């Protein structure tokens, strides 16, 4: 039996439809969850025990769906201040258009952008997020520290990555030369980030991963050395992979092989690795990901926005590939919400003839919760509502005008409009109440982000 540390304060949520997303997909049509400190102490059918001591809050969740907090597995927070640009471009053209602007960011602008991105995630039910930051202009200050501080102020569980670009145009890459770093500097900065910030303890609010950007923006030398560094330090690895047909052609021309074989050649397949997008994967690629436990961050809205294609998520899941959901950067998914990706993943993966059950509503919910937790290596802590796990919980109102006639509360979330978020707990702490952030003033975040967007545009 899981041991729960003693706690002086308890939150009781009862009369909710509880979708636990545990291994058996247990659901309670009228259930309860008891939170003790930052852990889930009890979950079950019917009301919570009345004799509980130290109850500081008892919530009657009639008309609500209770799920695990959502888990975002791929994002670029800094892009919050470059939304709405290059609206009709494929990935490579979109990147070429935006790299010169992104290369002029600094820590102050990144702080504002990170708070905008994190706020959008929290307000859409996301309790754990990752960010893939790879643009570090010279003289721009402590960019990674700025975003870590910004997210901590909002109370979100976070996996920050020290990303990088080392292959500029003169070396056959896509970024302009002034936007890239030297391999030695990247490795030194990456190790320093792990040493300074990474907390591997149970319940940690902050993990660090190492994340060279993509095959077309970093060298093979950096990929191989980054993998060695991450494994020596015991942290995870992340990059973009197989996102577009153009990327596949780039890899074949430069390396003489497709993206998956290239990743294998530089030590980038394994249970400690996850890739963003993975749209253009053949049967052999999927088999290698499944055999090695390599994870995938599925970003349906961004893939559609950039016309990248439809990832073979049902085939990946059938093969046993770990798959989670990602928003991706908000310059290619302007909503910035993770909650809406549940519905988009479900619908996009049904496209084609006779595919009505290619992905179910509960399958989409699992992608956004336990799937994401597994991809980030945190499945023992988050992703499902089970005794002993961390109290990251989302309470959705499904009895309002947009949802009251939907027969299935889970379908209200995964097929209907995104329901109002009545409560989001992260680590047992309320960070969203009745759709509003509790930790930082939203108007302040909005103004800072708008000011930062205008300033960055003027620099470009």
Q: CA–CA separation, 330 vs 334, rounded Å?
A: 5
Task: Give the total residue count for the chain.
Answer: 460
8 — pLDDT class (breaks 50, 70, 90): confident
Give me the percent of the chain exceeding a pLDDT of 70: 99
Average pLDDT over residues 220-247: 96
Q: What residues pair up with 208 in beta bridges, in sequence order?
A: 160
Residue-wise pLDDT tens digits, 362-388: 999 999 999 999 999 999 999 999 999
For the chain, percent helix, then strand, then coil, each to nearest 5? 35, 20, 40
Across the chain, how many H-helices and E-strands are there? 15, 17
**pLDDT confidence of 3, banded at 50, 70, 90?**
low
Contact 75, 277 (CB under 8 A): no
Give bridge partners of residue 130 from the DSSP assignment.
159
User: Model confidence over 196-214: pLDDT tens digits?
Assistant: 999 999 999 999 999 999 9
Quote the CA–CA distance of 435 and 65 in Å, as a whole number.
15
Q: So what's the pLDDT on residue 1?
A: 44
Tokens of 378: 């945190």
- Span 421-443, average pLDDT: 98
* Domains observed in the chain: 10-68+384-437 (2.30.40.10), 70-375 (3.20.20.140)
pLDDT in tens, 292-320: 999 999 999 999 999 999 999 999 999 99
CA distance 177 to 428: 45
CA-to-CA distance for 459 and 282, rounded, in angstroms? 42
> Residue 148 carries which DSSP code?
H
Q: pLDDT tens, 127-176? A: 999 999 999 999 999 999 999 999 999 999 999 999 999 998 898 888 88
Inter-CA distances, 405 with 237, 421, 422, Å: 44, 18, 19
Sign of the CA dihedral with 314 first, then 317, 323, and 324 last: positive
What is the percentage of the chain residues whose pLDDT exceeds 90?
A: 91
Dist CA 276 CA 290 (whole Å): 15
Please name which of 31, 35, 27 lies closest in space to residue 8, comparing C-alpha atoms: 35
Closest CA to 35 of 389, 306, 348, 298: 389
29 conformational bin, left if phi > 0, alpha if psi -120 to 50, beta if neither: alpha
- Crossing angle for the helix pair 107-123 and 143-154, nearest 10 degrees? 30
The model's pLDDT over 75-124, given as tens digits with 9 standing for 90+, comes to: 999 999 999 999 999 988 998 899 999 999 999 999 999 999 999 999 99
């Amino acid at each position: 039996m899981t041991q729960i540390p003693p706690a002086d304060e308890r939150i009781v949520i009862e009369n909710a439809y509880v979708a636990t997303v545990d291994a058996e997909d247990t659901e309670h049509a009228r259930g309860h969850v008891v939170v003790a400190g930052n852990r889930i102490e009890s979950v079950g059918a019917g009301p919570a025990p009345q004799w509980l001591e130290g109850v500081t809050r008892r919530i009657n969740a009639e008309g609500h769906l209770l799920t695990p907090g959502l888990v975002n597995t791929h994002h670029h927070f800094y892009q919050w201040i470059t939304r709405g640009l290059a609206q009709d471009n494929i990935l490579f053209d979109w990147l070429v258009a935006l790299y010169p602007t992104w290369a002029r960011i600094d820590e102050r602008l990144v702080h504002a952008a990170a708070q905008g991105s994190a706020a959008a995630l929290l307000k859409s039910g996301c309790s754990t997020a990752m960010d893939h930051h790879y643009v570090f202009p010279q003289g721009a200050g402590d960019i990674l520290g700025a975003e870590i501080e910004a997210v901590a102020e909002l109370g979100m569980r976070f996996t920050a990555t020290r990303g990088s670009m080392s292959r500029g145009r003169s070396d056959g890459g896509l970024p302009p030369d002034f936007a890239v770093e030297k391999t030695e500097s990247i490795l030194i900065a990456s190790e320093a980030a792990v040493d300074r910030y990474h907390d591997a303890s149970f319940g940690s609010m902050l993990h660090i991963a190492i994340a060279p950007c993509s095959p077309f923006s970093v060298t093979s030398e950096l990929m191989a050395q980054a993998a060695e560094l991450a494994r020596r330090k015991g942290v995870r690895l992340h990059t973009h992979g197989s996102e577009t047909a153009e990327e596949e052609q780039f890899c074949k021309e430069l390396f003489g092989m497709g993206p998956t074989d290239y990743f294998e050649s530089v030590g980038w397949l394994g249970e400690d690795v996850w890739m963003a997008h993975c749209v253009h994967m053949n049967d052999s690629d999927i088999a290698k990901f499944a055999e090695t436990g390599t994870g995938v961050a599925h970003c349906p809205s961004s893939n559609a926005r950039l016309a990248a294609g439809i990832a073979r998520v049902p085939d990946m899941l059938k093969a046993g590939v770990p798959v989670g959901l990602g928003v991706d950067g908000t310059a290619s998914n302007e909503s910035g919400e993770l909650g809406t990706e549940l519905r988009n993943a479900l619908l996009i993966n049904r496209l084609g003839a006779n595919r009505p059950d290619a992905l179910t509503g509960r399958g989409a919910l699992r992608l956004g919760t336990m799937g994401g937790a597994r991809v980030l290596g945190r499945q023992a802590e988050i992703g499902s509502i089970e005794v002993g796990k961390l109290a990251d919980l989302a309470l959705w109102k499904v009895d309002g005008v947009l949802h009251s006639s939907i027969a299935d509360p889970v379908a209200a979330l995964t097929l209907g409009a995104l329901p109002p978020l009545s409560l989001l707990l992260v680590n047992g702490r309320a960070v969203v109440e009745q759709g509003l952030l509790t930790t930082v003033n939203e108007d302040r975040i909005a103004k800072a982000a708008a000011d930062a967007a205008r300033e960055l545009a003027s620099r470009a």
